Amino acid sequence: MSEWTELLDNFDDEIGKTPFLIEEVARNFYHNYDELSSRSRLCLLYFGIFPKDCLFPDAKLVKLWITEENFVKEEVAKKLEQVAEIYLNDLINRNLVQVSRINYDGTQRMCKVHGFLHHIITARAKWQSFFQILKRTTSRLVEDSKMLSFKLLELLDFENAPLDDLPNEVGYLSVLKYLSLRNTNIKTLLKSVGWMINLQTLDVRNTSMRELPIHIRKVRKLRHLMASAHHSKSSALGVMEEIEKLRQLRWLSISKLTTDMINTLCSFIEKMNHLESRSLNLSND
């Protein structure tokens, strides 16, 4: 165990006894921070956007970082996803990011930063004007569509939000790269999704959506698509029929499938040679 790791492990227990520990932890943090590449620094500061102790699947972090401008740099013979994984592993190896949980087959890691490091990262990010957090007490997420007047929005994450309808204005966000509606009550996707020519990631898992609009075929840059089949073979087939021609698609995940549905979908997936990651998950019911 490195001295840096030991400091973090003992921090919560010793903070009241050792006033100088805060200064020592901060000093060690900046030593590690200064050794990072400029892009790895951006990836680390990204954790400051989210609440303290928030756990993130490594796959979601990779998608978010790819979405952001100048975070992940293309390298020869490597996909963007692979480069982003290298950045994340570097942060983990330096003990700046913790792996709190690994799923049963080792394919997904839940990541976070230590509570005190989160304070330092947030302070550093604000000092660099890296982000601004707006706090609202109203339950209305999109009021008069003011938020969507930002035409250069590249990322919208509504996961777990009390959202029933998607504002029409979303369809006019032509530079949008990441859209997550996971765990919302959204029933339909706007036809204008076909105008989102820069969309790279679309997550519609655990929504009330029964099918994807035919216009999804126009989203030629889509790299990651996550959806649910809703226990219906026709629903699952409807998803596949719309996405079979998305040649840029690299990551496909469909959940809530039955064994019969998986057997049917395999014939579609075998034709999609451009896919690099495929996940078909059985329903728990």
Q: What does the pLDDT average to over 165-182?
A: 87
Q: Residue 235's pLDDT band (boundaries 50, 70, 90)?
A: low
pLDDT confidence of residue 266: 78
Predicted local distance difference test score (pLDDT) of residue 126: 84
Higher-confidence position of 182 and 27: 182
Is the CB of residue 249 less than 8 Å from the CB of residue 222? yes
The pLDDT score that the predictor gives to residue 53 is 87
pLDDT at 89: 94
Which residues pair with residue 112 across a beta bridge?
98
Per-residue pLDDT for 265 more than 70?
A: yes
Numbered ranges of CATH 3.80.10.10 in the chain: 147-282
Q: Which of 133-142, 150-159, 164-173, 263-272 has the lowest mean pLDDT?
A: 133-142
**Global model pTM greater than 0.95:** no
CATH number, domain 147-282, options 3.30.200.20, 3.30.9.30, 3.40.47.10, 3.80.10.10: 3.80.10.10
pLDDT at 140: 52
Class of the 3-127 domain?
mainly alpha
The per-residue pLDDT for range 54-79, each reduced to its tens digit, is 898 999 999 999 998 889 988 888 88
Handedness of CA 76, 77, 79, 82 (dihedral sign): negative
Residues 244, 222: Cα–Cα separation, whole Å: 12
Question: Per-residue b/e over 248-264, b at no fewer than 16 CB within 10 Å?
Answer: ebbbbbbbbbbeebbee
What digits encode the pLDDT tens for the residues 150-168? 677 889 898 988 888 888 7
Q: Are 188 and 167 in contact (CB under 8 A)?
A: no
Host H or E run for residue 119: helix 115-127
